[in-house]
Amino acid sequence: MNENKIIITGAPGTGKTTLLNSLKSKGFDYIGEPAREILYEQRKVGGKGVSEVNNRLFRDLILSRSINKFLTFNTKKLTFFDRGIPDVIAYSVLFDLDINTDLKASQEYRYNNKVFITSPWKNIYCNDKERKMSFEDILPFHDTLKKYYIKLGYELIEVPQLDVEMRADFVLNKLNINKEKQ
C-alpha cells in the first residue's frame, strides 16, 4: 500500500476535478483522470478507444493508463489521484465486461486505505465533450464504485456536498493535515 497516494473518486460530474483543483491551489499534487484523457485523445484522432465505438478497448486503455500513472508517480509527497485503478471495475461492470483483470490490478496496486468519494449531485451535474452520460445513468456507476472499493478493503469517506473550499478542508482534516502543514 502506498500511503501517499490518495484517491478521490465518484461518478462522473460529481465535482472531483473542481475539488482536486482546490487541493492543487493549496500546494498538493494531483494526477488527472485517465478516462477523460483517453476520450479526448481518441476523439481528437478518430480512434476506436471510446466507449461508443469499442468499450473493451476503452476500458483496457483506462486500465493501462491508470497503472502507468500509479507506477510513474511513485512519490514520497502526498499526491491526489482523480480516480484510481479500482474505478476501472465500474467501467467494466457498466460495459458488461469481465472484471478479473481489473480486480487483480486493484489488489496489486494499492493506494492509501482512505478513499474519498463524491456523491451524485444534480445541482452541479452537466454534460460536456467527454461526459455523455445522463445524470440517471451515473447513479448505478456510483453504486458500483462504492461496492468494489468496500470489497477491496478501502475505507470510503463521503465528501459532503458543500462549497469547494469546505470540501477541500474536509479532505485535509480527514487526512489529519492541518493548514500549517500546507
Is the pLDDT at 118 greater than 90? The verdict is yes
CB 157 within 8 A of CB 117: yes
Contact call for residues 49 and 58 (beta carbons, < 8 A)? yes
Q: List, for residues 34-81, the tens digit of each pLDDT value.
A: 998 999 999 999 999 998 899 999 999 999 999 999 999 867 889 999
User: Which CATH number is 21's domain given?
Assistant: 3.40.50.300
Q: For residue 94, how far is the Cα from the chain centroid? A: 15
- Beta strands (DSSP E) in the chain are 5-10, 29-31, 79-82, 114-118, 155-159
Q: Which domain holds residue 16?
A: 5-181
12-41 pLDDT tens trace: 888 899 999 999 999 999 999 999 899 999
Q: Name the domain count of the chain.
A: 1
pTM for this one? 0.91
